[in-house]
Amino acid sequence: MADALKPGEVLLLENLRFHKEEEKNGEDFARQLASLAEVGINDAFGCCHRAHASVAGITKFLPMAAGFLLEKEIRFIGGAVDNPAHPFAAIIGGAKVSDKIEVISNLLPKVDLMIIGGGMANTFLAAQGYGIGKSLVEADKIDLAKQLINQAKEQGTKLLLPVDVMVAAEFKNDADHKVVPVDAVPADWMILDVGTKTQELFAKELAPMKLIVWNGPMGVFEMENYAKGTEAVAKAVADSDAVSIVGGGDSVSAVNKTGLADKISHISTGGGASLEYLEGKQLPGVVSLSDK
């Protein structure tokens, strides 16, 4: 079928992961895919962290160049990791420290400001001795959080945590909820978002930045009553004059929901790929390109 294609026609293959050789990066399968073309263009950044046959293995048998989207991802995210403008801020959110520890560890020595939000901030607050009630916390990561706080101090990096939080009696959108200072979290309530003073503090600190990388929500973004912190950060990032890079499903959703997508320099299309790039890892689909 490939040989019968005329100029302007497209041959669409089925999902290659139906073939077990794809995820195993099988050499014979990669050679078979390569035989369909004379040159390849990889424009699937979201798959570049996977060493699969159509991403990495195929490049042994077919010259492969980056498409426009992949080139843009490399330029923005790669530039932030390897040659960032200063002052440089990273906003890291999400539920667990364990999910973002490599991103934090890689970016902390590079940034001037690091903002921690979301459920993972609870572990950092616990590391500072605050009571966090029934909030999500990774007890086995408290010592690590202490180390990161100390590392930031030693290297002169400003590490910002919430100063007030939105707490709720239950993990429900319509549960009783209120904003309290971080030192006044009720013992039987849980932290589900950052508070209004924290939103103002984050916006103020982000204003003078020249580069901002944001990955992860500030609260339980899926519930309307606990989405305000994430939406406030989206507005702060969009209002800044910085080159802004946003990745991660909830962060991107917040930018789109608030109608601010056109004010963001780059919205990454990669989930795991952008995360691994920010971790400083080499992506199989990028390092194997012929034009790298």
Q: Where in the chain are all domains bearing CATH 3.40.50.1260?
A: 2-70+282-287, 84-259
Please state which architecture CATH assigns to domain 84-259. 3-Layer(aba) Sandwich (3.40)
Nearest of 119, 93, 92 to residue 192 by alpha carbon: 119
Q: What is the overall mean pLDDT for the chain? A: 96
In which region does residue 156 sit, left (phi positive, over 0), alpha (psi from -120 to 50) or beta (all else)? left
Q: What is the pTM of this model?
A: 0.93
Pairing verdict, β 88-92 and 211-215: parallel
Please write the tens of the pLDDT for every residue from 9-38: 999 999 999 999 999 999 999 999 999 999
Please write the tens of the pLDDT for every residue from 171-187: 999 999 999 999 999 99
Average pLDDT for 120-142:
98
Nearest of 116, 129, 62, 94 to residue 249 by alpha carbon: 94
Show the tokens assigned to 173.
């959108």
Pick the CATH number of 2-70+282-287 from 3.40.50.1260, 3.40.50.720, 3.40.190.10, 3.40.50.11030: 3.40.50.1260
Q: Quick one: pLDDT at residue 2?
A: 84
Contact at 8 Å (CB) between 30 and 61?
yes
Contact at 8 Å (CB) between 118 and 94?
yes
Three-class DSSP category at 162: coil
